[in-house]
Amino acid sequence: MSTSPDDQRSLYGTLSLETDKAEHGISASNPGPRNTRLVQLNPNSDIPPPTDHGVVEPFWYSFDLTHRRIQEGGWTHQVTARELPISTDMAGVNMRLTKGSFRELHWHLADEWAIMLSGRARVTVFTPDGAMFIDDVSEGDLWLFPAGAPHSIQALGDDGCEFLLVFNQGNFSEESTLLLSDWLKHTPPEILERNFRLPPEAIAKLPKGEPLYIFASEEPAKSLADELADVRRFAPAPELSYTFKAGSMTPTKQSEAGSVKIIDSRNFPASQKIAAAIVTVRPGCIREMHWHPNGSEWQYWLKGRGRMTVFPGQEAARTMDFNANDVGFVSKMAGHYIENTGDEDLVFLEMFVAPSFQEISLNKWLRALPEQAVAAHTGLSGTEIETIPTGDTTLLR
């Protein structure tokens, strides 16, 4: 099991007795106003480990702090660079649809990567070469809709669905998507008549007022196979699949400490600009010390609780605690680890604006170096160096 923050701090007692006294003595007292619930959720920010130092930009936010837009048919809320300024190249949207409801036909300026959190949905995407893709997705499955490709999402089943959307654009906003109903109402009726070759009475039926965005509807009357057969009369199937069944995927890496599923352009060719890893860390275990050379890391914490220390260099480091529905961010090249501090599995997403997942393991680097170089830098003996894990560990007890 993971140790408490106080027990963790005892490990650093040799660093500075004065620092330890400051943390546990009168210097750490706080008799003024406090948000005790927030402090309880983030004890490592309230009283950080002695190894924390300097100023590090905030790298934590939570969907539970954001405004939820609720409409008949579901809801949505988002964490973007407006909420987490350090995240300049990625943003996330959490959305729920009730049975049969649609996220209306629309398209974006950014790519949309998604993971199903619960339930089932039917998704469509239309490609620039005139192909139509349709598939049903379930919990744990992914999709990728390229920028500019129009698409839709419809909830299936009595419980509807919930999903996370990730965009490769930090200032993305769900309020600024290009919606079908919005375009139609801002086009002169006579142009609509000519474009669709429909009479005025038909054009009068088109949506008026606020854009549909999320709206209630009936579930599809036809099976996926029947809908695909109908669609093929007008549009061919695309060469690529725009969904990925990550829920049934065999982990890329697995050990007693947990598992990692890596999904990028190598096994999900449609995802050319966004790479991801789904990480499960067992209680008391850690995601080893590492960094990523080809992109910043945007995180979504799906389950459990943990803590992360981020080291961006220049003698700075900061530790924060995370819980389910939180968002984390690690700048490109910054060293970090993640520890499961709870009593259940910790599950989180690692997302990158990159075609492939890349990382540098501190352990693998040290073991790959000549022993004399490691000893000179660390003061460790040859026997001690040999105990450092080697190989593709990633997760450690």
State yes or no: is 57 an active-site residue.
no
Q: Is 5 helix (H, G, I), strand (E, B) or coil?
A: helix
Q: Which two tokens stand for residue 181?
A: 């109903």
Is 336 known as a binding-site position?
yes
* Contacts (Cβ under 8 Å, ≥6 apart) of 80: 87, 91, 92, 170, 171, 172, 173
Is 297 known as a binding-site position?
yes
The CA distance from 11 to 16, in Å, is 11
Which of 350, 371, 384, 386 is catalytic? The answer is 350
Is 292 known as a binding-site position?
yes
The CA distance from 375 to 216, in Å, is 65
Instruction: Please give the C-alpha separations between residue 108 and each of 93, 112, 167, 176, in angstroms, as whole numbers.
Output: 13, 8, 9, 8
**Phi-psi region for residue 227, left (φ > 0), alpha (ψ -120 to 50) or beta?**
alpha
Is 151 known as a binding-site position?
yes
Question: Helices in the chain by DSSP H: which ranges?
Answer: 5-10, 17-24, 36-41, 43-46, 180-185, 189-196, 200-203, 224-231, 362-368, 371-378, 382-386
Instruction: Please give the C-alpha separations between residue 265 and each of 58, 143, 244, 248, in angstroms, as whole numbers.
Output: 30, 13, 11, 18
Phi, psi dihedrals of residue 22, rounded to the nearest 5°: -65, -40
The CA distance from 260 to 278, in Å, is 6
Residues β-bridged to residue 320: 308
Q: Which two tokens stand for residue 201?
A: 């009475």
Q: Which residues are annotated as a binding site for Mn(2+)?
A: 106, 108, 112, 151, 290, 292, 297, 336
- Residues of each annotated binding site: 106, 108, 112, 151, 290, 292, 297, 336
Point out the residues that are catalytic.
350
